[in-house]
Structure 1
Amino acid sequence: MEAEKPTTMLCTVLAIDHTDFSYRVCSVCERTLPDNPTSLCKFCSVNAFNPRFSRSKRLFRLLMSIASDTKVFTVICFDRAAKVLFGCSADEFFDFAKFHPFAAVNVSRILEGEMFKMTLSKPKNGNAQHLRAVQVIPLRSGFQPAIVTLRELYGVRSS
């Protein structure tokens, strides 16, 4: 994919890196925060003490290997597109994974081989290495988001 405009293609998920699927951001300004749960946003520290606002939240950042009919790509799938795959927020999945340690590994297994119509774009950041999956549309009519399958697998009722 060499074009500057986003490209839409049919592709298959080959693998998902399950070791680092999310990151913390300030719940007010969405700037990236260190993984330390006690760290506060330097820009919104005044709002951090307001009990109405949570100090931080998690967003998805998935590193995925996908294949088109001609090439294998490594892509980054951020929050909006990743929610289609997971069917929940990154916070929900993080909490689920705390109680089910192999949930992230199982997501990779669940989504492996699934076909999607993906819109890929070049990163706007000059330092970034991978294409961005900006839109993900499942192609299988019976597709279920990963959290649905995980809840069935672990016998957990949805809340």
Structure 2
Amino acid sequence: MMCTVLAIDNSGLCYKVCSVCERTLPDNPTSLCKFCNFNAFKSASLSSKRLFRLLMSVASDTKVFTVICFDRAAKVLFGCSADEFFDFAKLHPFAAETTSKILEGEMFKMTLSRPKNGYAQHLRVVQVVPLRSEFQPAIESLKEFYGVRSGS
């Protein structure tokens, strides 16, 4: 369906997962996965990574509703991984709020699905395709806005 992004809840754009099994980890920086054997890994960088989880308000031609957009679809909007965005946001504290403003009003063709989990309350964004040929992922607009050169 054709949807317009109305707002993005920027309070929790991403979450930490085990870099091996991708199970959710607590936000504690020293958290290790209880399901994987990290003695087999020598690099601490393998302990965790971040994935996107965006709560968005979108509008179709007939209604406004809330959807949740996970990592694969969110990367289309952001143009980078959640770890890259998190690192960028550490240097530019208002990057999340600016991203919401950048994407507000953008139109996309979205494939939505009902959640497989009976407790989940929002439709899932399975696929997102920009409708504007000049669409630029949020990270590119942020780099321009903050004057960051590519590769920096």
TM value normalised by structure 1: 0.92
Q: Give the aligned partner of residue 45 of structure 1.
A: 37
1:26 and 2:22 are equivalent in the alignment: no
TM-aligned CA distance change 1:57 to 1:48, over 3 Å: farther
- Secondary structure in 2 aligned to 1:141? coil
- 1:73 Cα shift? 1.1
For the Cα contact (< 8 Å) 1:47–1:53, is it kept in 2? no
CA distance in 2, matches of 1:28, 1:50: 13
CA distance in 2, matches of 1:85, 1:94: 15
For the Cα contact (< 8 Å) 2:143–2:149, is it kept in 1? yes
- Sequence identity (%): 79
TM value normalised by structure 2: 0.96
- 1:158 Cα shift? 2.0
- 1:46 Cα shift? 2.9
1:119 and 2:111 are equivalent in the alignment: yes
Q: Give the aligned partner of residue 64 of structure 2.
A: 72
TM-aligned CA distance change 1:41 to 1:66, over 3 Å: same
CA distance in 2, matches of 1:42, 1:152: 41
Q: Which AA in structure 2 matches 1:33?
A: L
- 1:124 Cα shift? 0.3
Alpha-carbon displacement from aligned partner over 1:126-145 (angstroms, at most 9, x marks no partner): 11010000100000010000
TM-aligned CA distance change 1:115 to 1:100, over 3 Å: same
TM-aligned CA distance change 1:143 to 1:47, over 3 Å: farther
Map of 1:48-63 to 2, 5 A cutoff?
49-51=41-43, 54-63=46-55
CA distance in 1, matches of 2:150, 2:83: 15
Residue 139 of structure 1: which of 121, 131, 137 is its match?
131
Gaps of 5+ in 2: none
1:13 and 2:1 are equivalent in the alignment: no
For the Cα contact (< 8 Å) 1:14–1:113, is it kept in 2? yes
**4+ residue stretches of structure 1 with deviation over 4 A?**
none
For the Cα contact (< 8 Å) 1:81–1:134, is it kept in 2? yes
For the Cα contact (< 8 Å) 1:41–1:48, is it kept in 2? no
